[in-house]
Structure 1
């Protein structure tokens, strides 16, 4: 294990000399006499813009362009590279991480980025300062025992136990990015609407339900952005976003409805298409009746024809899921077997359980998501139709995204449509959604609890990457397939569309678009 750490450190140190910004590009900016503005349309407003207080992809899309973390992902993968930390060292026991920070970096408010800023950002998300509405705090920093300033540009983080995903977590777009301590102390909860980071773009304004405007950070420490402004425009309906792209009123969109793709191609729009690091699922509220009974969850799992549903809704742009993990994540098990479609068995089990006349409430979201491009209502209605065939009556409540997240956190509904876009390419990032300690943080939305799963997750986090760790995650997939806190539905392809005027537009495997290296003719 020590050799692996040393090899990683040397590779990271050598890589540091090649990067002039977290995006990893050494290209120079192009001069232009007129300001370049790119308008990007997404399905809804962010929940907020303080990375410590949000857990959704709509927020992350803006956050990654305003903030930066100690380390970052490379442009086309979840492989890590230096960012606000130039290099780091890991102790032989895997418990102490020492980060050497980049000098001469300033937050957008002009205050310096230094060791004090790092200590502030981490301390506010660990006890005793951590707050219950910080959804990623326990996931990202739960193993941190203490964080100390060694000198102005050196920080030491001590963990309670060795934690294999720790570096990958520090590159995530949520919780890990560094906010200006001065701005955070001054604005308090207003930081959610007035973000101040070190990134290549600065926040200008947020017009709720309409748009967020960012401008180029001319004092950025690395390669300056090529665009002068980026406007995030909020358009709920997929087809309307596609129409606006074709009409030229926006430059790029995400959340493509499969029904619009041919139309976009015929209009000479560019389509970004890649394997998505996500899972689209139907969840049961496991903490209370009726779905605290795993046998009832099993019965309803037999009622959903996932192959037919995925084919009809996603038209070849999503694959049927057999596991909470996408197939390319280390630890994925191709042998895990979710309950297959068998409506007769579902009816027989309902009768055996005395639930022939079961009535339930399902909640869902109105907008598209990276894991479900057709939107939550269409998925819920398809599930409702399958359940009706086995005699289950289902009512559906549909909410806008921000309100839906609140309703889900409050435990509303018996079943819910949801999903997850991976943050860091590590199996723990997906399977921690079954960790009982993440019920309080709301990441475990199904409120599922299994002691054996908790123990295996803890073992996986302290086990080095390799076959032993992968076997642990295989066991977790087998247990959760049997317990069925979720019905896994599909893995969506990562898709977006953009005008031919836009250059170097990419959706990162973790979901956001980093606009630092994007250009426009």
Structure 2
């Protein structure tokens, strides 16, 4: 039985001026915690469907809950709606024992709900972003109200990591909605119910979401009466609201941190984002076919200068998807900044004939001032060697609607600036790189078709011997470093700032916001 356990010389764009969003009209209450919980990539506006969410789980997990989640240190998986689990000897059957819990409408949570949820999550017609990750699931059974059995077609060392992202949904509320209509349902933003310590009560479009305490929560009555998630189109507005006392918590970029470091009214929370940022080459575009062109992109970008000047040193260069020593071979290419080498490679490849100075659309969903400056720096560096990229920043839904189409228009995203989870489980990158995950099958948005990479990923995912997994992922790293499906850039730290008036507050800089063990029922605010 297992226990669940300033590039001043190259910064082109100045930081955008912002103003704070007006305060809510509701009076401040000592028992109300307000925050910009999902400021950052993707934002939260309209992001209430956990099946389709790629970020915002810090917020969603306050009222929805998964069977299992990572602990707050992101080191082990612990129980949430499951009290325990066991794995069969052949590692193809996971049996979960479920806790006694109720939905916010008072109906009992049962194994049938869990079965219903997992089956929705495995069905791409629902808009589930988890379907590709759940492909190993061959059957889901609910032998009794408190037992769930998940069967796999083959062992998968990453399945439990994926299960931490599957938020349980009520069968009785959603079963009548056709799968292909589920993503468009108004239920998500009007009357969603979960099992968590707070209940959904109100959404004011593009302003805030309000939750009220679930006094019948199995983990005890929450200390707070309300939790409010404010929407900020710009992180600077969230920071202004934090300083004025309108909110008590917000996500911040690394360049905002110094202003809070010595302020005793706030606590800065720092951690590994477990997200690798990269320039993704659309491999369906002929301009990237020659690996020498992709190599030139890597040599053209002074990553160290960007990290030092724009990230204030709070990032680590990445030469594959990973930066952890145990996952990175000693002999891979470091792609040190060498613009002359980049020019030579482009000349060898015949870049003037392939594309030359024609503009290349660089699509991204990163819209913060920091991201704007990063892309301006990248644009300037690539221009110096003869590659003309034109950044286009859009919101996350628009980005997804472009890149996830089976018949996507190459001209709209010849290149992307994006990020993908590279931990806590190393297998998290598989959906973004495996050939079997090319849209619509999955989120391999760069359309990477690299047999050696797919083979390396498949072998790593199938490796259930923990003592051998690191070597498997070193091979993945080596292939990535050689074949360059992406131009990998860095893994940055992630930050949050909370008022010191808030007690027992847990926020972890987790990829996508979690989920992770946070115990929001214990959060409180000092008078």
TM-score bin (small chain): 0.7 to 0.9
Residue-by-residue CA offset, 1:31-52 (whole Å, 9 max, x unaligned)? xxx6611111124334522222
Q: Which has the higher contact order (CA 8 A, sep 6+)?
A: 2
Compared CA separation, residues 238 and 82, structure 1 to 2 (3 A): closer
Alignment of 1:495 onto 2:498: no
Give 1:166's match in structure 2, choosing from 153, 159, 164: 159
User: 2:19 is matched with which residue?
Assistant: none
- Matched-pair contact (CA < 8 Å) for 2:120–2:126: no
- Matched-pair contact (CA < 8 Å) for 1:238–1:255: yes
Alpha-carbon distance in structure 2 between the residues aligned to 1:84 and 1:464: 25
Alpha-carbon distance in structure 1 between the residues aligned to 2:397 and 2:106: 32
Alignment of 1:460 onto 2:425: no
- Matched-pair contact (CA < 8 Å) for 1:96–1:157: yes
SS state at 2:427 partner = helix
User: 1:205 is matched with which residue?
Assistant: 202
User: 2:428 is matched with which residue?
Assistant: 429
Alignment of 1:80 onto 2:68: no
Compared CA separation, residues 259 and 48, structure 1 to 2 (3 A): closer
User: 2:11 is matched with which residue?
Assistant: none
1:268-287 counterparts in 2 under 5 A? 268-287=265-284
User: 1:217 is matched with which residue?
Assistant: 214
Alpha-carbon distance in structure 2 between the residues aligned to 1:446 and 1:237: 28
User: 1:387 is matched with which residue?
Assistant: 382
- Matched-pair contact (CA < 8 Å) for 1:84–1:101: yes
Compared CA separation, residues 304 and 290, structure 1 to 2 (3 A): same
- Matched-pair contact (CA < 8 Å) for 1:272–1:506: no
Give 2:522's match in structure 1, choosing from 507, 517, 520: 517
Structure 1: segments with no counterpart, 5+ residues: 1-8, 16-33, 369-373
User: 1:476 is matched with which residue?
Assistant: 476
Residue-by-residue CA offset, 1:176-219 (whole Å, 9 max, x unaligned)? 11111122235642243243211111112222221111121112
Alignment of 1:101 onto 2:98: yes
- Matched-pair contact (CA < 8 Å) for 2:421–2:428: no
Compared CA separation, residues 335 and 195, structure 1 to 2 (3 A): farther
Alpha-carbon distance in structure 1 between the residues aligned to 2:188 and 2:283: 31
1:241-320 counterparts in 2 under 5 A? 241-259=238-256, 261-262=258-259, 265-266=262-263, 268-320=265-317
Give me the TM-score of the superposition, normalised by structure 2: 0.84
Alignment of 1:180 onto 2:173: no
Q: Which moved more, 1:489-498 or 1:179-188?
A: 179-188
- Matched-pair contact (CA < 8 Å) for 2:132–2:431: no
CA RMSD after TM alignment: 2.4
- Matched-pair contact (CA < 8 Å) for 2:2–2:86: no
User: 2:404 is matched with which residue?
Assistant: 409
Give 2:121's match in structure 1, choosing from 125, 131, 135: 125
- Matched-pair contact (CA < 8 Å) for 1:432–1:457: no
SS state at 2:488 partner = strand
Give me the TM-score of the superposition, normalised by structure 1: 0.85
- Matched-pair contact (CA < 8 Å) for 1:246–1:264: no
User: 2:55 is matched with which residue?
Assistant: 57
User: 1:505 is matched with which residue?
Assistant: 505
Residue-by-residue CA offset, 1:208-261 (whole Å, 9 max, x unaligned)? 221111121112112332222111111122322222211111111103351453
Compared CA separation, residues 337 and 467, structure 1 to 2 (3 A): farther
Alignment of 1:147 onto 2:140: yes
Compared CA separation, residues 100 and 494, structure 1 to 2 (3 A): same
Compared CA separation, residues 449 and 507, structure 1 to 2 (3 A): farther
Residue-by-residue CA offset, 1:468-511 (whole Å, 9 max, x unaligned)? 22111111111111111222222211211111211233322524
Q: Which moved more, 1:242-251 or 1:266-275?
A: 266-275
Structure 2: segments with no counterpart, 5+ residues: 6-28
